[in-house]
Amino acid sequence: MLKLFTLLVAAGIASPALANDTMAEVKTGGLIFAQSDDVSMAEEDLFISASEVRVDYVFENSSDKDVESLVAFPMPDISGQVDTNSAISDYDSDNFLHFSTQQDGSPITAKLQQRVVSLGIDVTEEFAKQGIPVLPYSQKTTEALAKLPETVRKDWIARGLVYPMGAGDAAGVDLVPLWTLRSTYWWRTTFPAKKKVSVEHRYKPAVGGTVAISFLEGGEPKGERFEEYSRKYCLDGDFVRVAQQRAREAEAGGANYTESWISYVLSTGANWAGPIKRFQLTIDKGKPGSLISFCGSNVQKIGPTTFRMTAEDFDPTKDFDILILNPPETAQ
């Protein structure tokens, strides 16, 4: 007899965000996080860069019964904003991050669930009714927004779903998406009793960022944004001093360093039975001249652009965020 659970594998970045595996159950409105008492995460090997995310899991069913489950992998949230962009290479594809997965070496065909959220409210049905594509940065979305009826346009502006780029909210004014897209890939599987199962995911992250260093105020480490960055990315004195120097060079006529933000939702890994027995995280900052900051312990530099953190019996209590300052093309 099979023991039935519904599992949710979460991955994420950025927040743009990536996420860790967790349990879930299907209810009205979609997948809901839950917990597992029988299946543990024996290993997680995570690789994060601005061009690729690779995550390899080994799950273990410690019970004496097979666990039949729904496995799901939430992708990073994609949020529309007025003054930032998200580096997505394929804006008009449902699989816009080129997500793929395997279980025990065999490819899995996953289904896709997408929900649109604004100010914590699910507005997916409204978008379907108006025929608006859900990916904020899609050209098709821009074109569809331009055709919104005037009453809907004014309502969406008032509710913060979109922002009018121009004077007023009249027709003809470009509407910038402000909503958040939440996408989840899911499939059905079985964890055999007393067995281990390997699951692999690959995708291109949606990297957020700015065209200049944004967390300094008048060139100084102060202000709300600096405080937020300090908490989120654990900025240290050396990183801040170099960032200040790069900002001064840009003000003197040099090219700007740019920011890249990558996030990974680690905390949902705590929903499996027990801690993650073996955890390994490898980060590649991309260019030798790039600066990187993130919160971690026992981190070692293992190459010109790579860093590694390992832990045993790892209990992920908070999520993981990476800040990369990229040099101009002339200063790699």
What confidence score (pLDDT) does residue 161 get? 95
Q: What is the dihedral of CA 104, 114, 12, 111, to 10 degrees?
A: 0
What confidence score (pLDDT) does residue 207 get? 83
Q: Sign (positive/negative) of CA torsion 193, 195, 196, 197?
A: negative
> What's the rounded Cα separation, in Å, for the pair 48 and 306?
10
Q: Sign (positive/negative) of CA torsion 178, 88, 46, 54?
A: positive
Q: Average pLDDT by consecutive 10-residue portion of the chain (332 residues)?
A: 39 39 40 65 92 92 88 79 61 80 92 91 96 90 93 94 74 83 86 94 84 92 96 95 94 89 74 83 95 93 96 84 87 50
> What's the rounded Cα separation, in Å, for the pair 144 and 269?
38
Phi-psi region of 11 (alpha: psi -120 to 50; beta: other; left: phi over 0): beta
> What's the rounded Cα separation, in Å, for the pair 309 and 321?
14
> Whole-prediction pTM value?
0.80
What confidence score (pLDDT) does residue 32 get? 44
Listing DSSP states for 77-108 in one string gives: PEE--SS-EEE-S-TTSTTTT--EEEETTEEE
What confidence score (pLDDT) does residue 318 get? 77
What confidence score (pLDDT) does residue 327 get? 92
Overall size of the chain counted in residues: 332
What confidence score (pLDDT) does residue 271 get? 63
CA-wise closest residue to 39 among 75, 1, 66, 12: 66
> What's the rounded Cα separation, in Å, for the pair 113 and 226?
35
